[in-house]
Copies of this chain bind each other. A is one copy, B any other.
């Protein structure tokens, strides 16, 4: 029997999660917003046999102080559902996953656009369902206040149900196109949804044929209890937090158990944590690269992030000294505070270095040689911590090229990553079944 393989997504909006990526030596400062660069990245990911190009999204410029905002490359970026059809034309196998919110959209538009993307890409679309965590979005859609958490999730449940119902408006063989008889479709194979629920009233049918994949792949990222439950009931991929491996195992076991309890095959919900990766010829070189990257986080942004994490004004500390022993307790998140202090102690960082870590990217990371990184990925896969990863590159193009050219071949040698695509659609490559039509067998 062949070895179980990693699923690999590339988390590409922003192209790097790291705030200072655009300032790294050799980086494309406009990587997040230059079509030709994005085409290059998509082609490289396909050559490395990635499962998917994954785009996060916000419907707002993020709400942060202008001193930090003006240093952010992510204030301008393409709408994912406009970019991905373009990338579909320059790739053949790479999955194309876009984030779209159930809070500030209508089910009709989402059903139609993802069905269209699935047709345009010949079966490579995925929908990352979010409920919009960013309160700034509300103000771009006529609301002073963001919807509260539970209400967002109730709406999301109904939204997904309506979208899937619209995708099933037509049997797969509805369109007979009988030129002689002048019959374009079989009326028995069209379903009028007629949905009337708490949040939505949608008649249907959708004016797009059933997607190539039946339904585009459903992705979710929520880690809350509501989020895990929604994923267990409806999702096929979870973009999970990268946390320590023990926490990842516990998360993995929890959502797989919830999935089984919901009457689904747990193998049909893939858990793929985010994974920030810095590759070096030696471990020291990788650590130096990361330190150089962190050092490019501007002090203004960095110290603001540290102050938020500690719940106290960190600008009064000596930037070049270690973090003071005594940090006053405040009403800041206790876990965020402890995490920040833990990083500083563990890696022996100065105040400035800690601030730059937090202002850059402080989530879980794999930093080392290709073999070391492959070892870690293998451990995660083989000890029940994940089914694969959504890779996050530290800077572009080098960080992406390092992973594709150095780590991917190592994973392939170990039989942990495909050398050729198995299928034609994203579902086929991910090993996910094509959903039956609710209304037609």
Q: Which residues of A contact B (CB under 8 A)?
A: 20, 22-23, 29-30, 33, 35, 58-61, 66, 69-79, 81-86, 88-90, 104-106, 108-109, 112-113, 115-117, 119-120, 122, 136, 139-143, 170, 175, 177, 179, 182-187, 190, 200-209, 296, 298
Instruction: Give complex CA distance A29, B184 in Å.
Output: 9
Determine whether the beta carbon of A83 is less than 8 Å from that of B116.
yes
Q: Would you give 20 A-B contacts (Cβ < 8 Å), ordered by A?
A: A29-B177, A35-B119, A59-B112, A61-B204, A61-B206, A69-B187, A70-B184, A70-B187, A74-B207, A76-B207, A79-B115, A82-B85, A82-B116, A86-B88, A86-B89, A89-B89, A106-B141, A140-B202, A140-B204, A142-B201
Instruction: Report how many copies the assembly holds.
Output: 2
Instruction: Give complex CA distance A175, B32 in Å.
Output: 13
Instruction: Give complex CA distance A109, B33 in Å.
Output: 18
List the B residue with the shortest CB-CB distance to A300. Answer: B182
The answer to whether A209 and B112 touch (CB under 8 A), given A85-B86, A140-B202, A201-B142, is no
Summarize A's interface: helix, strand, loop or mixed.
loop
Instruction: Give complex CA distance A262, B35 in Å.
Output: 38
Which residues of the partner chain B approach A70 to less than 8 Å between Cβ atoms?
183-187
Instruction: Give complex CA distance A234, B242 in Å.
Output: 50
Which residues of the partner chain B approach A104 to less than 8 Å between Cβ atoms?
106, 108
Determine whether the beta carbon of B207 is less than 8 Å from that of A108.
no
Determine whether the beta carbon of B185 is less than 8 Å from that of A78.
no
New A-B contacts (5) at CB < 8 Å, excluding given A35-B119, A82-B117, A136-B203: A59-B108, A66-B187, A70-B187, A79-B116, A139-B203
